[in-house]
Structure 1
Amino acid sequence: MDFAKKVISLGLILSLFQVSLAAVYQVGGPVGWKLGFNYNQWAGNQLIRVGDTLVFKYIKAVHNVLQVTQQNYASCNTSSPVATFSSGSDSITLKTASHHYFICGTPGHCLGGQKVDILVS
């Protein structure tokens, strides 16, 4: 019985430790989410893991964030996003280890480079 309590306690401690390891990344760093920045270069310098959170900060009258498929990312197709965010300060917790694709839905912005491929390990 004593051993079972220790195992349960250890499991709880480890799960709390894992939560505390989650990081928050502001996409683009202090630049935020706007035109004229190389987001894929920024993303390539980050070690983003499952449970981490992306924060997109931008002027909501000018930009938004669309989560899209790989195909729509490559073509800058905004017609069928997986999810749409438009608060100006969007927090997205990454729940799967894979590529996650985000673009700005304002006409011309994705084609102008306002897009990011986030690889989550």
Structure 2
Amino acid sequence: MAMGRGSAFLALVALCVVAHFSSGHAATYVVGDSRGWTFNVDKWPVGKTFRAGDVLIFKYNPMLHNTVVVSTLAYQSCAATRDARTLTSGNDRITLSRGVNSFICTFAGHCQAGMKIQVVAN
């Protein structure tokens, strides 16, 4: 009988370990899905739930675009500050922080054409 209880206890511990690690994995999202980081992508986050630690991947042609991490004010005005983090790989990976995360493309006219997103991570 003690052997049965020990096995049940070990099974319960194993289940708790699996549940702990499976709930802690961050999700990864490709911005714009199959279209990638491009024009009119500003509505892409609508209906999605993001968490701090999730990763956004910005896929684009680096000769034509970039990804710039900006403040909410810079997002609204489509004007990045000089110290804004600018990525240019064409396959940028950004881990979301808790709260509002804002991104724009600073090539002329791109942000104004909807090449910008804001993501709220809980």
Equivalent residue of 2:86, what SS? strand
Tell me the alpha carbon deviations over residues 63-120 of structure 1, each in whole angstroms, 9 at most, x when there is no partner: 00000011111101123353111000001111x3201000001011011111001111
Q: Structure 2 residue aligned with 1:89, among 88, 91, 100?
A: 91
Q: Distance in 2 between matches of 1:19 and 1:62?
A: 36
Q: Larger Cα Rg: Structure 1 or Structure 2?
A: 2
Q: Which residue, out of 22, 28, 31, partners 1:27?
A: 31
**Please, what TM-score do these two structures have when normalized by structure 2?**
0.79
Identity over aligned residues, as a percent?
33
User: Where does residue 17 of structure 1 map in the other structure?
Assistant: 22
For structure 2, the 5+ residue unaligned runs are 1-9
Over aligned residue pairs, what C-alpha RMSD do you find?
2.0
For normalisation by structure 1, the TM-score amounts to 0.79
Unpaired runs of at least 5, structure 1: 1-5
Cα separation, 2, equivalents of 1:73 and 1:81: 14
Query: Match of 1:78?
Result: 80
| CA deviation map 1:27-77 (0-9, x unaligned) | 111110112x242x2101211111110000000000000000111111011
In structure 1, the partner of 2:52 is: 50
Q: Provide runs of 4+ in structure 1 moved above 3 Å.
A: 12-15
The residue aligned with 1:120 is: 121
- Aligned mates of 1:17, 1:82 — CA distance in 2: 34
Aligned residues: 109
